[in-house]
Amino acid sequence: MTGGTQGMGLAFAQRAATEGASVVIGARDKDRGEEVAAQIRNAGGNALFVPTDVTVEEEMARLVDSAVSEFGRLDGAFNNAGGGPMASVRDADSADWHRSLALNLTSVFYGLKYELPAIIASGGGAIVNNASVSGVKGDAAQAAYNASKHGVIGLTRSAALDVARSGVRVNALVTGLIDTPLWQNVVNQAPSTAERYLSVQPTGRAGTSDEVAALTTFLLSDEATFISGASIAIDGALTA
C-alpha cells in the first residue's frame, strides 16, 4: 500500500494487520515508515516498510517486487497516496498542475501497472484506489486535484474491465471530508476554510480514518467478490 504512514493509510495498515494480513507500506518518510512498521510488528502483526516515491515508476515497481519477495505473493493493494497544491484554474501554474497529476493520478497508474500482474500471478485478489469527492463534485479552488482524482475514477474502471476475467477486482473510494493530519492542518491554519467545508457536510462532521479503513478492508476481502469497477462514496451523504 502507499501513503501508509498517517491518516487513512495508517488506519488501514493497522486494521489489515490485526486481521492477519502481511502489510507492505510504501512512503517517502523513511523514519516514520520504519516506526509504523515496527509498531505493527510489536503488536503481533507482519509489516515491512519500503521507502517509495510514488511518482517514480521504478520505485513503485520495487515496492511491488519487495512485497512478493518478502511474503511470496500479492493478494491486494491500496493506492492511497495523494495531496498536492490547491489552486483554481486561473491561479494554478503548470508546475502545480503536473505535480498534482503525478502524485494523485500517475502514481495510481504506476501502482496498477505492477500490482495487477503480481495479483494475477498469485491467483487473484483486489485493489482499492483512493479517489475523492472532489473528483465528482468539483471545487473551484482545487482544479488540478479535482482533475487528477476524477482521473483515478476513470482509471479504476478501465483497470477493472481489463482484468475482469482474471480474478482481480479494482474499485475506488470516493472519500469526502476525513479527519486526517492534513485536515487538522487546515483546521489549525485556516479555520475559516475549515468552517466552510464543515458547513456543507450533511452529517455535520468529518469522517474518521477508521471508517475509511473498514470500507477498504471490506472491498479487499472475499466478502466483496462481485464488486468491481465501482466508485463507492464514503462522504456522509455529501454527493447523495
Q: For residue 15, which of 203, 197, 147, 209 has the smallest C-alpha distance?
A: 209
State how far the Cα of 111 lies from the Cα of 90, in Å rounded to an integer: 31
Which cell is 124 given? Answer: 487473484
The SS3 call for residue 49 is: strand
| CA distances in angstroms from 212 to 8, 75, 175, 178, 217, listed in the order given | 6, 20, 8, 8, 9
Residue type (1 letter), 28: R
Catalytic residue among 110, 114, 145, 197: 145
* 145 in active site: yes
Looking at the annotation, which residues are catalytic? Answer: 145
